[in-house]
Amino acid sequence: MKRTWAALIAASALTASTACGSTGGDGKAAEKTANSAAKSDEPAELTFYMTSNKIEEKAFNEKYGDKIREKFPKYTIKYIMQEDSKTLPNLIAAGQTIDIMISSIGLTSAFLNNMNLQYDISELIKTNGYDLSKLEPTSVEIQRQIANGGMYGLPIGTSSAALFYNRDLFDKFGAAYPKDGMTWDEVYELAKKMTRKEGDIQYKGLTMAFQHLMFLNQNSAEFVDLKTNKSRMTEESFKKTLLNYARFYQIPGNELPKNKFTLASQSTPFLQDHTAAMYITLSAPPKDDPTSPNWDVVQVPSLTDKPGIGMQSYPTYLYLTSMSKNKQAAFNVMSYLTSSEYQQWMVETGGGFSSLKDPKLLETYGKNAAYLKGRNLKSLLPKTFAAPTVKTEFQALGDKEGYTALEDYLNGVDINTALRSASERLDKAIAAQQGK
């Protein structure tokens, strides 16, 4: 089971891509439905859908399905695998009902809001006496933002970012391993030290998932202003964030290929080629596979003016959709999956990081997963998350201009000019998307 789970965790984490949560309208108000009195011992059929590509039913059952059936023996649990971006629109066009959607905040807008499947569960939370205070606070705050004070979903888990390193490369070059509590300046100096060429092999000191780090940045800098739907890319906090990351790509030998960013150019040297000493990305551990590097992990470095503050949280949510005909039964399942009973099991088996705010749960992460033994797992999540930024429906447009601004700057364009040009293009793209 461990390899299937590891693949599921990694795939879920990597969906932290260009799409992100919408701040859209009020959604479907939580009207009282005919099934609101349903009990957990009454038969019900529930269909699940995950927005991560090609998560097979076996993996779904190992992490969710089997535990749900065990808890609710009279529920029939079905699962539909996403093949590609056309899967969900095709299902909806065919009249397929989806009761619970499992999606990261990064894909919420594309799969929930843009398909008009959002549903405010506030009334169900109230009538069922569900205690929101047990949840990690920023994951609730994010939902309040995108649902205009309501709640579209409950967080089943969260993630953030971490610094992974290749033990073998540090041993090879006689360098001390990275440690928790380092600043970005210290990691920059270490990256310069570890960037070198031996024979035909170019070793990189540090690669990073730039788009994820911008999305979760410690300055809480935003691409778009929620109130005006205008770019915020020229603001000082945004410029500081981009420059902090960009300097690593200016280290000789550590450059982006042709100054063009792709995630593959950053992940492959660490995960497959074993030629990158460090890699900052989402908190999901490398897969349990012989091809993975001999890795360990430390916290993302701190900003000097924000000591101890990590990246923002990156939650995965259980969304009760507007099309569900078994809303109370679905909420019963959502309540169970966010209970201490299920969350403890999930964490101990390395199935994900808990959405509950109990810090002791992280201490037991991977307890029953042999391949995670002996690693600094407590550093996969920060002790303190940065304040969450508003996730707007224009994030994909912002990401695109973020790449362009980075690439322009690396090609010699003044940073203020690069950001001003990107900001102007973003404003035009937002207006076009709004049909103005």
Mean pLDDT of 235-257: 98
**Residue spans of beta strands (DSSP E) within 331-409:** 353-354
Give tens-digit pLDDT for 310-363: 999 999 999 999 999 999 999 999 999 999 999 999 999 888 899 999 888 888
Q: CB under 8 Å, gap of 24 or more: what pairs does 247-252 form? A: 247/188, 248/188, 248/191, 248/205, 248/206, 248/208, 249/406, 249/410, 250/410, 251/191, 251/192, 251/195, 251/205, 252/195
Q: How far is Cα 386 from Cα 219, in angstroms, rounded to an integer?
A: 7
What sign results for the dihedral spanned by CA atoms 67, 72, 76, 78?
negative
Structure tokens at 291: 């091809």
Q: How far is Cα 159 from Cα 139, in angstroms, rounded to an integer?
A: 10
Query: Quick one: DSSP state of residue 246?
Result: H
Question: What residue ranges do the domains of the chain occupy?
Answer: 2-159+315-374, 161-299
pLDDT, position 429: 96
Helix ranges, 155-277 (H): 167-172, 184-194, 210-215, 236-246, 263-271
pLDDT, position 1: 47
pLDDT, position 176: 98
Phi-psi region of 105 (alpha: psi -120 to 50; beta: other; left: phi over 0): alpha
pLDDT, position 298: 98
Residue 298 near residue 180, CB atoms below 8 Å: yes
The matching CATH number, chosen from 3.40.50.720, 3.30.460.20, 1.10.3470.10, 3.40.190.10, for 2-159+315-374 is 3.40.190.10
Neighbours of 80 (CB within 10 A): 16
* Range name among 195-199, 267-271, 282-286, 413-417 with the lowest pLDDT average: 282-286
Residue 115 near residue 99, CB atoms below 8 Å: no
Query: Quick one: DSSP state of residue 381?
Result: S
Give tens-digit pLDDT for 6-34: 445 444 444 444 333 333 344 444 444 33
Residue 321 near residue 202, CB atoms below 8 Å: no
pLDDT, position 23: 37
What sign results for the dihedral spanned by CA atoms 385, 337, 112, 19?
positive
* Range name among 109-123, 239-253, 305-319, 353-367 with the lowest pLDDT average: 353-367
Query: Quick one: DSSP state of residue 63?
Result: I
> 46 — phi, psi (to 5°)?
-130, 130
Q: How far is Cα 191 from Cα 338, in angstroms, rounded to an integer?
A: 39
Residue 54 CA neighbour count, 13 Å, CB half: 5
**Residue spans of beta strands (DSSP E) within 16-173:** 44-50, 75-80, 100-104, 153-158, 161-166
* Range name among 151-160, 169-178, 222-231, 364-373 with the lowest pLDDT average: 364-373
Q: How far is Cα 303 from Cα 108, in angstroms, rounded to an integer?
A: 29
What burial class does residue 412 get, using C-beta atoms within 10 Å of its C-beta: 0-12 exposed, 13-18 middle, 19+ buried?
exposed
> 49 — phi, psi (to 5°)?
-140, 130
pLDDT, position 381: 93
Which homologous superfamily does the CATH classification assign to the domain defined by 161-299? Answer: Periplasmic binding protein-like II (3.40.190.10)
* Range name among 102-106, 124-128, 301-305, 389-393 with the lowest pLDDT average: 389-393
Instruction: Tell me which range, 53-67, 106-120, 187-201, is most confidently predicted by mean pLDDT.
Output: 187-201
Query: Is 0.85 topped by the overall pTM?
Result: no
End-to-end CA distance of the chain: 51
